[in-house]
Structure 1
Amino acid sequence: MTKFGSIGLRVGVLWLAVVVIWLFLGWLRDVVWGSGYAGYTLAGHMTSAALATLLTASLVMAMQRVFDDSARLKDIGLDLSVTAVRPFLVGVLAWLAPFALGLGLCLIVGWAAVTPSVEWAEILAFLPVLVVLVFLLEALPEELVFRGYIYGQLSSAMSRLWAVVIQAMLFSAWGAALWTIAAGTVPIERIVMFFFMGLVLGMVRVVTGSVWASIGLHVAFQTVAQLLLNETRGHFTIAGADMFQLVALGVVPFSLAVMISGIFYKGPHGWMGRQGKAAVS
């Protein structure tokens, strides 16, 4: 088997395995806690988050051990040391700063209005819990798989640019597969959203040389989105939600995130060159 064929096999196996893991988590949630919003509990959310990180990290490390004679997450850009703090914070800032700009634009122009539905003390008390849940359920496992292992495999055989594009396509296909199986429809808007989100996250990972930066961006985005838009918890009421999501949560922050990351990590990054072994910051 050629090197590219071998890489395709590894990526395909991991992609399918991650689909199975998330389907299992959804099945477990429905069986134990009940389906839909009516079945939401904080305990169920915490259990799903812990299992998502545990199963995904174990899977990735097993893939490394079997195929690459290594089980170190550091080899795919996830350095478990104090050096992770800087790229993580850069990723958070790269999304939060332009989000604040987009939010201000929406409020000033009158495209949207954001009103707290509960006391600020309750919101601030829940915020750290939500950050941890987002980190464990979405940001860490998804970035470890797509911007970590999959990007690392692809970039060893092709240019960084193509590796970023293809991992974004796989990320989009993963999200679409889960949604289609769960809802029975092909979600075109989610396919597009996941692709561009994966593209930006992949570019931030290249610019910074660290998966921690894409994790930081992912945490910032998901935390804000879930805090403001989750109807089950009811922390905020948003008038003009569609425009708010498009401008403040979407176009403005995701358009500027790579540029902001580049301010802290100077190039050139050799987009048309191969990564080789995953860079670690």
Structure 2
Amino acid sequence: MTRLQPARQHTAPHSRPTGAARFPLGGRAQALCRALGGGAAMALALGVGTGAGPTLARALGLAPSGFAARLVPAALVSAVALALVLGAVRRSGHRPALLGFGGPVASLRALLIGVAVTGAAASGVFGLATAAGLLRWSAPDPGALAAFLVTNAVVALLLEALPEETTLRGYTWTSLRGAFGGAGAALGTTAVFLLVPGASTVVGAVTARLVGAEGGQVGLAPEGEHPVDYLVLLTVFGLTLVAARTAVREAPLWAAIGTHLTFLTVNRVVLEGDRRHAGWHTVHQDAVVPLLVPLYLLVAMAAFAVIGRVSRRLRCG
């Protein structure tokens, strides 16, 4: 899980590969059940992947700390999550476009918007913090940094960004949008997002024991994170992801995926670069530095809101 880390359906719901479609009306209770189903799919996928993935990697003879070994649980998480959600969408008679997927060009454009907006917000906030003396940096190692960016992007995409956005800002948000409106869907999706980490630790512990491994810690937050701080950050992050997902008309889910990937990458370099051997890291952090993370998320959220508003006005015009 992340660490410190649909509007109206028209008569031809498959003709518009945007976030504007919704599931057929079935009442708020059914919408809530589908929304929780999206969260359950992610919790199950994450628990199975993290619980069984390391054992599977060892069975394949992969070095525990190597890239391939990290890739196994990540791929398992995406495989389970996407199979569950896309299967549910197809059973309802819809296509993946319902969730916010789109064609290659639209998807790449939306992904780059998510990366650019979040990266610019983080660069601005951390740049000001560096100028103010709150952060000092090591000398960068370009080769190590490039290798980290590539391997981290692949693992983070499969372990977190793609499955979480598909299940939550895809399936859960789309389920809630038609029954509860935009604000209700944003808050409801974020609430489900907060339930996933704790539920996934339970699934992960059970799965690990079933495959003969030692069960991990069960709790509301990943090991080493303060639960309250983690959930507050997750709330801000979740709302930012919804803002990204609703800012773009075509393939909007990829804007959220780009935002998610950028968030993970930035934080892992700035806050954990030394431990992760990222090739660049901070050598001094002021006590207020962790507060800069929700700050740059708020900046990104505001930027996505402006982009979405401008986009809607241009369409209306």
TM-score, shorter chain, exceeding 0.5: yes
How many Å separate the matches in 1 of 2:147 and 2:40? 37
Give the corresponding residue for 1:55. 80
CA contact (8 A) 2:248 2:255 kept: yes
How many Å separate the matches in 2 of 1:177 and 1:55? 16
Q: Partner amino acid for 2:303?
A: I
The alpha-carbon deviation at position 208 of structure 1 amounts to: 1.9
| Corresponding residue to 2:217 among 168, 183, 186 | 183
The alpha-carbon deviation at position 151 of structure 1 amounts to: 0.2
Give the corresponding residue for 1:233. 277
Greater share of helix residues, 1 or 2? Answer: 1
CA pair 241-51 structure 1, distance change in 2 beyond 3 A: farther
CA pair 241-121 structure 1, distance change in 2 beyond 3 A: farther
Matched, 1:204 2:244: yes
User: Superposed, which structure 2 residues align to 1:1-281 within 5 Å?
Assistant: 3-32=27-56, 39-66=64-91, 68-70=92-94, 72-116=95-139, 119-178=141-200, 182-186=216-220, 187-209=227-249, 210-228=252-270, 229-230=272-273, 231-233=275-277, 235-238=279-282, 239-240=284-285, 242-247=287-292, 249-251=293-295, 253-267=296-310
Q: How large is the Cα RMSD of the aligned pairs?
A: 2.6
How many Å separate the matches in 2 of 1:63 and 1:97? 36
The alpha-carbon deviation at position 12 of structure 1 amounts to: 2.4
CA contact (8 A) 1:53 1:137 kept: yes
CA contact (8 A) 1:76 1:148 kept: yes
The alpha-carbon deviation at position 147 of structure 1 amounts to: 0.6
Q: Partner amino acid for 1:160?
A: G
The alpha-carbon deviation at position 197 of structure 1 amounts to: 0.7
CA contact (8 A) 1:53 1:140 kept: yes
Identity across the alignment (%): 22
How many Å separate the matches in 1 of 2:306 and 2:229? 31
The alpha-carbon deviation at position 269 of structure 1 amounts to: 6.0
Q: Give aligned pairs, total.
A: 262
How many Å separate the matches in 2 of 1:199 and 1:179? 23
How many Å separate the matches in 2 of 1:17 and 1:114? 40
Gaps of 5+ in 1: 271-281
TM-score by length of 2: 0.74
The alpha-carbon deviation at position 234 of structure 1 amounts to: 5.5
Gaps of 5+ in 2: 1-24, 206-215, 221-226
CA pair 265-188 structure 1, distance change in 2 beyond 3 A: closer
